Amino acid sequence: METKLFQAEELDQAAQILKHKGLVAFPTETVYGLGADALYPDSVKQVFEVKGRPSDNPLIVHVADFEMTRPYVEKYHPLTDRVVKTFWPGPLTLIFPIKKNTLASIVTGGLSTAAFRMPDNKKTLELIRKVGDPLVGPSANTSGKPSPTTAAHVFHDLNGKIAGILDDGATKIGVESTVLDMSGEVPTILRPGAITKEMLEAALGVEVLLDQHLVIESETPKAPGMKYKHYSPDTPVLMIQENQWQPAMDWAKTENKRVGILAGPAIAEKYRSQDRYIFDDDTVEAAARGLYSGLRALDEAGQIDLIFAQIIEEDSLGAAYMNRLKKAASQKYFSEK
């Protein structure tokens, strides 16, 4: 199969492929998604096969507007209107209870809820409108590996496996959407992202809970990205505390380990002899944008034994960055002990 790169003027071609049960990756403001018509179980099945993704993992249903959710949702939370008007389109996924026999179990992971999102990308919103149905859109990569933030990343992983990729350059945010469970009484964040707990509480005027439960392999997650290990390159990753960089580098030298550094300029510039992926600057936004690209670049170079990755404060967007980094590193920090 030839995998074609589609530009904006070729949206009709991409839509026709999706209408005929093919797969097309699409851009969002977070990461690239692997698109299939959510109403065709056979198409959705291909998504799992191409990614090598466990079929108990629910998928996010991407819509072009809020009205597109109505045929499927059984009951909306009282605060739904407020949260949608504030954050859609944008990096926020909402979970609602759904009507029976509206979405196939392969989409919902067999759950009585489903996750919906309206991405902030004009090309993708137009693509969904042209298809006329919602699209599933898990990250367009091999399951468990770092998510793709460019069309080139998608092409690297899925060339020859999918019909096409809608190219819109690099994504703006770089980590997946916040997932907010609104199927219960109290809104609960299941996966942190660019829309933070503080932002949600300010907009909704109520307390928002943060579920930090890590799902083991035998459990069915309620939302994507909840597994204990995820987003992982083949090269092992160790998280480095701020005061542990030199001890970690000394240890690696003693152990004859080749190290790649994933960090901002303030840290990375101290170790010029190492393979490095340097974030654009030392802000949390740059770290989030560069996390997956950096993991991929260092891993694919094939010249290192370990990736040493910078940690940052777990607040605001930093919570999303650390959520992904911890899973990429299987929760492992460097320790001198």
| Model confidence pLDDT, tens digit, residues 27-85 | 999 999 999 999 999 999 999 999 987 777 899 999 999 999 999 999 999 999 999 99
* Band of residue 254 on the pLDDT scale cut at 50, 70, 90: very high
Question: Is 258 flagged in the annotation as binding?
Answer: no
The pLDDT tens digits for 172-222 are: 999 999 999 999 999 999 999 999 999 999 999 999 999 876 555 556 667
List the domain boundaries for the chain.
4-210, 237-328
Structurally, what CATH architecture does the domain formed by 237-328 represent? 3-Layer(aba) Sandwich (3.40)
- Per-residue 3-state assignment (H helix, E strand, C coil) for the chain: CCCEEECHHHHHHHHHHHHCCCCEEECCCCCCEEEEECCCHHHHHHHHHHHCCCCCCCCEEECCCHHHHCCCECCCCCCHHHHHHHHCCCCEEEEEEECCCCCCHHHHCCCCEEEEECCCCHHHHHHHHHHCCCEECCECCCCCCCCCCCHHHHHHHHCCCCCEEECCCCCCCCCCCEEEECCCCCCEEEECCCCCHHHHHHHHCCCCEECCCCECCCCCCCCCCCECCCCCCCCCEEEECHHHHHHHHHHHHHCCCCEEEEECHHHHCCCCCCEEEECCCCCHHHHHHHHHHHHHHHHHHCCCCEEEEECCCCCCHHHHHHHHHHHHCCCCECCCC
Question: Is 283 flagged in the annotation as binding?
Answer: no
* Band of residue 115 on the pLDDT scale cut at 50, 70, 90: very high
Question: Is 57 flagged in the annotation as binding?
Answer: yes
In the predicted model, is pLDDT for residue 108 greater than 90? Answer: yes
Residue-level pLDDT at 226: 60
Give the rounded percent of residues in the chain with a pLDDT score beyond 90: 88
Question: Is 147 flagged in the annotation as binding?
Answer: yes
Structurally, what CATH architecture does the domain formed by 4-210 represent? Alpha-Beta Complex (3.90)
Question: Is 70 flagged in the annotation as binding?
Answer: no
Question: Is 82 flagged in the annotation as binding?
Answer: no
* Band of residue 135 on the pLDDT scale cut at 50, 70, 90: very high
Average pLDDT value for residue range 126-139: 97
Question: Is 231 flagged in the annotation as binding?
Answer: yes
Question: Is 177 flagged in the annotation as binding?
Answer: yes
Average pLDDT value for residue range 131-159: 95
* Band of residue 231 on the pLDDT scale cut at 50, 70, 90: confident
Average pLDDT value for residue range 265-279: 93
Give the rounded percent of residues in the chain with a pLDDT score beyond 70: 95
Cβ(192)–Cβ(319) under 8 Å?
Answer: yes
Residue-level pLDDT at 327: 93
